[in-house]
Amino acid sequence: MKAIQVLKPGNAKCLVYATVPKPTVAAKSILVRNAFSGVNYIDTYIRTGLYPTKMPAILGREGSGIIEQVGRDVHGFNIGDRIAYLATENSYAEFCNVEPKSAVKLPQNVSLEVGAASLIQGLTAITLVRRSYQVKKGDTILVHAAAGGTGRLVVQLCKHLGATVIGTVSTEEKAAIATGLGADHIIYYTKEDVAEKVRGYTNGEMVHAVFDGVGKNTFQGSFDSLKRCGTLVSFGNASGKVPPIEINMLSKGNIVLLRPMLYSYIATPEEFSAANTELFDLISKKVLDINICKQFDLKDATLAHEFIEARKTTGKVLLKIAHQ
Ligand SMILES: NC(=O)c1ccc[n+]([C@@H]2O[C@H](COP(=O)([O-])OP(=O)(O)OC[C@H]3O[C@@H](n4cnc5c(N)ncnc54)[C@H](OP(=O)(O)O)[C@@H]3O)[C@@H](O)[C@H]2O)c1
């Protein structure tokens, strides 16, 4: 079968469209004929070596498709079911083995495209606003990269929960998108001082929480934008890894600092199922609009990574999997 492999860390050009053995189904797994693979920022971290992994590796942590075979110890799934799933690292491929505990049958009204586009960014957004910091009516929340894939979902959820949202973006086009999603105020964080703008928008009150997936370039501004006892949720590295911090800095205002990973919020079948139920319910009620901003063919995974790293995303990037 065809798959996208990384042989050794590098830039997007190091991705190889390779022929590799088709996996065989294991007793406790499901073999999926992939239709779409979701492209995530984390795939670039694995490709560059920021998150070390054993190489050669097939990239890809989520996807959707049709079940081709079911392992003999698997219950609750059947050949032909339409599913979306989280994978350890292998969805940029025609087929992959998936653990049943990380798979979800797609509701009839959810397409394979939307299924592949929903899980990582959608579940991340839900767990950020529910568990990292419980967003409440009346809160003021700062959301970085408010027009990006995860950011736009966080904005929609914060508005749904009754918060005032200040969104940061790099361009006017992205400002229009974030405003359209409900953001009350916009900061152009590549040229404006974030904390000063927050001070102005909040009459000096500052914000209850910051959701920051940008990392290195925004960390200090996020910290300086918080009110006393505020919460800084640093959940990504789009601009690079946040340098080590001095813990005593948190005592200025009793700041709560989190560096969450989605997987530890959905580690049990109950947690995964509850988060998925909420996700697809919010999608069907149109509270969450899953925007697929670009699709590439599997063989063009290099272009997909370059697209993300050139900060062109205004939603989800997918790889479309053709079968030979
Ligand atoms: N912790 C977790 O479990 C978890 C799960 C999912 C995602 N994440 C993290 O969330 C972040 C966003 O992921 P995503 O899938 O939503 O990605 P995305 O759709 O590509 O959005 C990333 C956005 O970050 C902004 N950005 C700022 N500086 C950047 C830079 N130097 N290079 C590229 N982009 C930059 C860009 O918006 P502007 O142009 O407006 O600046 C870009 O659109 C990533 O850091 C990712 O690792 C974490």
CATH code for the domain of 190 = 3.40.50.720
Q: What is the pLDDT of residue 324?
A: 77
Same domain, 113 and 63: yes
Is residue 146 within 8 A of residue 171, CB to CB? The reply is no
Q: Which of ligand 1's atoms lies nearest the C-alpha of 262?
A: 3
Mean model confidence pLDDT for the chain? 96
Structurally, the chain folds into a number of domains equal to: 2
The answer to whether position 126 is within a domain reads no
Q: What is the pLDDT of residue 88?
A: 80
Share of the chain above pLDDT 70, in %: 100
Mind giving me the DSSP string for 274-319? HHHHHHHHHHHTTSS---EEEEEEGGGHHHHHHHHHTT--SSEEEE
Is residue 203 within 8 A of residue 187, CB to CB? The reply is no
Residues with CB under 6 A from ligand 1: 40-42, 120-121, 124, 145, 147-151, 169-170, 174, 213-214, 217, 235-239, 260-262, 308-309, 311, 313
Same domain, 234 and 155: yes
CA 262, 267, 273, 274 torsion-angle sign: negative
The Å distance, Cα 234 to ligand 1 centre, comes to: 11
Q: Which domain holds residue 192?
A: 137-259
Does residue 255 have a pLDDT over 80? Answer: yes
Q: What is the pLDDT of residue 296?
A: 98
Q: What is the pLDDT of residue 10?
A: 96
Q: Which residue has the tokens 């050794």?
A: 8
Ligand 1 pocket: which of 241, 313, 314, 318 to mutate (most atoms within 8 A of CB): 313
Q: What is the pLDDT of residues 138-176, one digit of tens each?
A: 999 999 999 999 999 999 999 999 999 999 999 999 999
The Å distance, Cα 29 to ligand 1 centre, comes to: 31
Q: What is the pLDDT of residues 27-41, one digit of tens each?
A: 999 999 999 999 999
Q: What are phi and psi of 273, to 5 degrees?
A: -65, -45
Strand order in the sheet with 15-19: 15-19, 2-6, 57-58
- What SS3 state is found at 208? strand
Does residue 89 have a pLDDT over 90? Answer: no
Q: Mean pLDDT over residues 203-219, rounded? A: 98
**Rounded to whole angstroms, how far apart are CA atoms 184 and 168?**
11
Q: What is the pLDDT of residue 194?
A: 98
